[in-house]
Chains A and B, each alone.
Chain A
């Protein structure tokens, strides 16, 4: 097989893998948007917040220690213990549920019935708030995230040697594929299956879909909108946690983690805001598209095209199909 083609295939596969990660973030957006009509710009910051909380709990950091030290002049930083990953993840889930409840209780309860664009801007405010809050709570330095089941069974890092070897034997060219990307793909598939099962086969999941279809009809058959919204935000918080773990393990827990939300936006536009399959397909298209574009066109125009390619692709696409690939047709009446 020619070297160039093999290389292109490798780029394609890596694009698919990063597309999965984009889709993971986009999923959280779709969930909230479907159930409450809120386009949650804070999803990326929620992923950052979740990852920071996880690291903080794992390492036994004292929340708000910097602020407390500044006010009281003390020097506390750590409780001095280390918490097992599984327990820490469970505690982080609880924090995310509390966050979902607080967001519903203090923000969006008061904004019911407002225009979507007002809600959108409120989530931008929320994103700023959460970002500052997370920094105040856990400190803004870059942290490394290690999720381990036992002492030597952590999230795998680095190149997958088995694939490298097998493909080398088959094609005479070893594919470079990150172990973490493979894990992320598997986790994402499990997550999607779990979400689908949850929304198809459980009572709460069905209620969630009912609310997504029609708020008033759902209210009239006795579904509590408040509860469903808290539930949806919690599920989105959980998805954010998974995305945060994957991205955090890949590139460290730091501010740039919240920027993945910006990457998820074109994914959503491409796939349609209301469709879970759309989020996944859109994520894959964007992931593959930007990697291949960078590979072929990037060197001609000076590189780093990944920053904007996804947006321009989505923009061009939207001009021809404003509702995205799988979105519901937009019908407007006077």
Chain B
């Protein structure tokens, strides 16, 4: 009843082209923004920030990035963990070598550096496709992790081989280091997420996005109608790398604070982000959010139910989590290859006709 386009008259071209054409969607979007910016910061505490909100925000950025590459441009990448590591280490080097610059810019520059690295590893995509490419991106994953492990310059010759985030402030409020407040880190990540989502959304519905989708659907046909595959694929790798790099930088500096590369940015991280976009929905901005939320919440819920309520040992719950995640992936691919986003789309379609479906 509420969810209708009827009565919502568009009088200008830009109004017709807006992201959320239906009033109810627009209201929902603004409400979500208001709650995220004006309500949650006042009620958030350390547990909620560290267990749910920070990982969700940061993974959502990574999922956005990977979704552009896999969901929109069709180039499967298993190197996300490695690229996140590039973002993290770039951020660390920048933070320690240029302490006078605001961390906000460090994070953005780390994104740029990751984009450059991502482009280098994306170059083979012009020759190889499908899972040949997927396996080739594994080269990035293993090589980058090895590089950050072995070359001491990257971790400033520290004895432990770890990198630790020094204390940095934005507007005089600490966002990294040990003495941060939950709301400050939350807001810092939220700003990046909202900006990333806006950029991603507008890129994907513009010319760049259409080129990516043309390449995804059939690259030879796309080439024939005048899409330059070199530019399209490389730009997808660059944009994807930018977002993934930002998420890696935030993951290290704001969320964890100290990182050992093999443990944090291993191959499992690549799979985790890939699972997020499969479950959330390939080729959908909303899907990146939904998938990230789902896979961040699932372990928390399982832990609360399994360990706290039923009193099972943690290792059994961890194994059970593997089983559930694996089964869910298969189930989603069978039942709904377009993920949670498609379920949401179907629901919206039903809502339009509700309560009189004929």
Contacts and interface: CB of A to CB of B under 8 A. Distances in A.
Contacts of B187: none
Nearest to A313: B139
A131 B323 CA distance: 7
Nearest to B325: A128
A70 interface: yes
Interface string A285-306: 0000000000000000111110
Interface in B126-179: 127-132, 134-136, 138-139, 142-143, 145-146, 149-151
Contacts of A304: 146, 149-150
A269 B143 CA distance: 17
Interface stretch (B37-45, B87-95, B216-224): B216-224
A252 to B, nearest CB: 18
B329 A121 contact: yes
Given A308-B139, A311-B138, A334-B224, A136 B330 contact: no
Interface size on B, as a range, is 35 or more
Contacts of B333: 111, 114, 118, 121-122, 125
A322 B135 CA distance: 12
Q: Give the size category of A's interface with B.
A: 35 or more
A128 B313 contact: no
A120 interface: yes
Contacts of A322: 127-129, 132
Given A70-B316, A302-B150, A131 B130 contact: no
A266 B267 CA distance: 15
A200 to B, nearest CB: 28
Given A311-B142, A318-B136, A129 B124 contact: no
B146 A305 contact: yes
Given A305-B146, A308-B139, A132 B134 contact: no
B327 A116 contact: no
A195 interface: no
A130 interface: yes
Interface residues of A, dominant DSSP: helix
A132 B327 CA distance: 10
Residue of A110, A122, A314 ringed by the most chain B CB atoms within 10 A = A122
B337 A266 contact: no
Nearest to A330: B129
B146 A319 contact: no
A133 B326 CA distance: 10
A248 B63 CA distance: 36
Contacts of A302: 150-151
A148 interface: no
A122 B329 contact: yes
Contacts of A265: 135, 138
B319 A140 contact: yes
B150 A262 contact: no
Contacts of A307: 142, 145-146
B6 interface: no
Interface in A246-294: 262, 265-266, 268-269
Name the residue in A118, A122, A265, A315 with the highest tally of chain B Cβ atoms < 10 Å from its Cβ: A315
A49 interface: no
Contact of B142 (A122, A125, A269, A308): A308
Interface in B204-248: 218, 220-221, 224
Given A136-B319, A140-B319, A269-B135, 11 more contacts: A66-B315, A70-B310, A70-B316, A107-B334, A120-B76, A125-B333, A129-B325, A132-B320, A302-B150, A311-B143, A334-B218
Interface of B: 74, 76, 124, 127-132, 134-136, 138-139, 142-143, 145-146, 149-151, 218, 220-221, 224, 267, 271, 274-275, 278, 310-313, 315-316, 319-330, 333-334, 337
5 contacts: A70-B310, A125-B327, A125-B329, A136-B319, A333-B220
Q: Which 8 A-B pairs have the closest CB atoms?
A: A132-B322, A129-B326, A125-B329, A128-B326, A311-B139, A132-B323, A308-B142, A302-B150
